Structure 1
Amino acid sequence: MPAPAVDRQRVLAHRAVAHDLVAPGTGDVVLGVGLQDYPPGRSARPALSLRTGPGRPRGDLALVHGVRGALHLHRADDLALLRGALHVADGRDWSRQTMATFGDELAGAGITFAAALDEVAAAMATVTADGTPRTKGEVSGAISSAVDHRLAPWCESCGAAHVHDVLFRLATLHAGLTVQVDPALPSRFRYAGSSDGTRAATDESRAELVRRFLAAFGPAKPAHLAGWLGLRPAAARRWWDLVAGELRPVRVADAELWVHADDLDRVVDAPPARGVRLLPAYDPLTELADRELLAPDADRRRKIWQAVANPGVIWADGEIVGVWRGRTRKDGLTVTLDPFEPMSPAQRQALEPDLEVFRAAAGTTTATLAPA
């Protein structure tokens, strides 16, 4: 049976529904993959509130270093699964963008990445056992001399030997550490022990994480999974193969992409997306590798995804139609809009409920929309 053809607009419409952007929902799909939080404390919780509505109960949540070592907001009940999936054995599985050459260097020295994770995590658990929250510098300073020196190479920019940054971040997850953000000074977050570091079975955890990835970001292909996980293509393909028998192909333009069988009808029959939203920087909708599908125009892609400090995006009827940045001064938040095309008064008015979410997150008394 030939793969059904699905146009780009239908793919975007399906993702909008899955992400609870068309109508308030549970946020379960995005929580299943985690919501990236950057700057710390500023993006993940607003992104979740935009999907669920303010004040909806969501259960216990935890801010941890998840995929790629980046900070993500997850359900606390999912941390054992996340540890199981991200207990990577071979440092050579990490992409150069994620790990540079460090994973290869460990493998060349005969050290598995899993062993490195376990050693650093054990040291972290010992240091934080007294329950006192500690900054990254404090944890790093306490453990770097206590682990194999090959795990803590000399860092020219810091002028010190310390545990490799990505190894450090991933190890915090395995040590059972979560991140506590100071709203007044989010860059100075602290680590605190909040769980026992239980780890679920690796293959089962990876299979489930791939299913969740496809629920949030499908239709997709293994290369997209590799980009999201920060793995080399061959390593991501091994994860993909764990669920390959559950997937179905679709044709999007000239590409063969894949969805989970449970989602095939939802993709093929997705109704047009409607609505206008403000989404934060690093929102789950934009954190996939298929940027060309999300924004076919190269100039617009350069505005959406920048080398550092991505802006938020303006979303309308399934499309990213502009970007925005916020600035907090005294008691007021100003959101400066930079739409790709002129916005109607009705569209600007439709952004007011989302503006209120960002005002509450910023802790200001007022919030205004301003043109670029």
Structure 2
Amino acid sequence: MTTRLSTRALNRATLARQLLLARAGIPVIDAVAHLCGLQAQEPQEPYAGLWSRLHAFDPAALSALLVDRRVVRTHLMRRTIHLVTADDALAWRSRHDPTLRQKVLGAYGKELAAVDIDELAAAGRELMADGEPRSMAAIGRALAERWPAPGPRPLGEAVVAALVPMVQLPPRGLWRSGGGVRNAPLTLWLGREVEPPEADGGDTTGEDLVRRYLAAFGPATTADLRAWCGLAGLSGAVRAVRDELAAFRDDRNRELLDLPDAPRPDPDTPAPVRFLPAFDNAILGYDDRSRIVDDEHRGLSVAGERVVLVDGRVAATWTVREGAVAVTPLRRFSRSDRAAVADEGRELARFLSGGEQARVAVAASPRGQRVLSRTTMWALGAS
């Protein structure tokens, strides 16, 4: 008989896989690899995400990995910017190529209808072959000299986001550093070639993606897998590894797949307060996000709001306001929940400020019940 996993059991499994049940004492690059990358269109967000997941996380370590070209910022899953290891970028890029092309043509099909996409890709590679970093706008303007009708934006975005594997170069993505986006070819930046598609029609890359996803996100449905990576055609990869996997059922009787020996903690395992950055894959990495967020709040992370987990579930949003970490509950907190949120928020404030301050403000009323002002904030000073 197939074991049934409750929503709470799935929640605890997700927290364990996402390194949110207990901070991990592993190197930063191992965490990035285990998590299958971090969504990173907001350049500073991965730092908060790793701070919540790693013991004594040093942001300089992640910056060093970017400078040393061991991790990169590139378009990958769901055509969004992800921070991934260099090895994963090279291994996974070819498998994502058809989907990336499809998405960019879906966005600019009308503008690019008269453009031969293979010719545009070749022109993009030729333009970038000199190794000179360029912005998307500069790439688009250069290509518009040959194809004036579409305009620079569709041409530049097609090349950067889909047709030519690119990376966003530092200082973009470095800790507490600004700077616009400068793109360079992935192969030139890393000095290695992208792994080509398999000539024999196999899909070992897809099979690896299935295993890696389950290690970081399982137990999960095949719909969850597709929602995370945005790839079509993974059913064959799932079938190929199915004999390796364990099967479960959720509260709605849907089949969940998992690695047999992956952690599935007791549902009653205590879950600490955790602050998640915008667009965190602990939420976005599923089709059914009910294991971690109520349906009424499902859109928060999609909208780019940072969230706070209390007892493993999304219970508040947070931002930085006037130097303080400001928390807005989505429901009423108990006294102990409020204290735990304030304690963790204070530590986050210390991290974000480089130890200069530790101020947190937790709103007295849940979101939407009252317009927030200074008099409705419960403020905790630096300690």
TM-score (norm 1): 0.76
User: Do 2:246 and 2:260's aligned partners in 1 also have CA atoms closer than 8 Å?
Assistant: no
Moved segments of 4+, more than 4 Å: 56-59, 89-92, 101-106, 108-111, 119-122, 182-187, 268-271
Question: Alpha-carbon deviation of 1:238?
Answer: 4.0
- Which residue in 1 is equivalent to 2:243? 245
Q: 1:195 to 1:262 in 2, by over 3 A?
A: same
**Residue type at the aligned position of 1:370:** A
- Which residue in 2 is equivalent to 1:371? 362
Q: 1:79 to 1:167 in 2, by over 3 A?
A: same
Residue 209 of structure 1 pairs with residue 203 of structure 2: no
* Residues 235-244 or 209-218, more deviating: 235-244
Q: Of 313, 316, 336, which aligns to 2:307?
A: 313
Paired residues, number: 336
User: Do 2:277 and 2:306's aligned partners in 1 also have CA atoms closer than 8 Å?
Assistant: yes
Q: Of 49, 52, 56, which aligns to 2:51?
A: 49
User: Do 1:81 and 1:199's aligned partners in 2 also have CA atoms closer than 8 Å?
Assistant: yes
String of CA shifts for 1:302-325, please: whole Å, max 9, x gaps.
4x245x4x2111112322221112
User: Do 2:272 and 2:311's aligned partners in 1 also have CA atoms closer than 8 Å?
Assistant: yes
- Which residue in 2 is equivalent to 1:23? 22
Residue 14 of structure 1 pairs with residue 42 of structure 2: no
User: Do 1:30 and 1:284's aligned partners in 2 also have CA atoms closer than 8 Å?
Assistant: no
String of CA shifts for 1:77-111, please: whole Å, max 9, x gaps.
2221121321328966x5xxx753667999x9997
- Which residue in 2 is equivalent to 1:280? 277
Q: Which has the higher contact order (CA 8 A, sep 6+)?
A: 1
User: Identity over the aligned pairs, expressed in percent?
Assistant: 23
Residue 3 of structure 1 pairs with residue 13 of structure 2: no
CA distance in 2, matches of 1:351, 1:262: 36
- Which residue in 1 is equivalent to 2:106? 100
String of CA shifts for 1:192-231, please: whole Å, max 9, x gaps.
3412462225422222122211222212222222222234
Question: Alpha-carbon deviation of 1:267?
Answer: 2.1
- Which residue in 2 is equivalent to 1:200? 195
**Residue type at the aligned position of 2:49:** A
CA distance in 1, matches of 2:208, 2:144: 34
CA distance in 2, matches of 1:356, 1:282: 22
**Residue type at the aligned position of 1:86:** H
CA distance in 1, matches of 2:149, 2:226: 27
Question: Alpha-carbon deviation of 1:24?
Answer: 2.4
Q: Where do 5+ consecutive residues of structure 2 fail to align?
A: 198-202, 364-383
CA distance in 2, matches of 1:43, 1:36: 8
CA distance in 1, matches of 2:211, 2:359: 39
Backbone CA RMSD of aligned residues: 3.5
Q: Of 341, 345, 368, which aligns to 2:332?
A: 341
User: Do 1:22 and 1:275's aligned partners in 2 also have CA atoms closer than 8 Å?
Assistant: yes
User: Do 2:306 and 2:318's aligned partners in 1 also have CA atoms closer than 8 Å?
Assistant: yes
Q: Where do 5+ consecutive residues of structure 1 fail to align?
A: none
User: Do 2:18 and 2:282's aligned partners in 1 also have CA atoms closer than 8 Å?
Assistant: yes
User: Do 1:17 and 1:23's aligned partners in 2 also have CA atoms closer than 8 Å?
Assistant: yes
String of CA shifts for 1:224-254, please: whole Å, max 9, x gaps.
222222345xx34344334333322111102
Q: Of 260, 263, 278, which aligns to 1:262?
A: 260
Q: 1:365 to 1:195 in 2, by over 3 A?
A: same
Q: 1:90 to 1:188 in 2, by over 3 A?
A: closer
Bigger-Rg structure (1/2): 2
TM-score (norm 2): 0.74
CA distance in 2, matches of 1:356, 1:253: 40
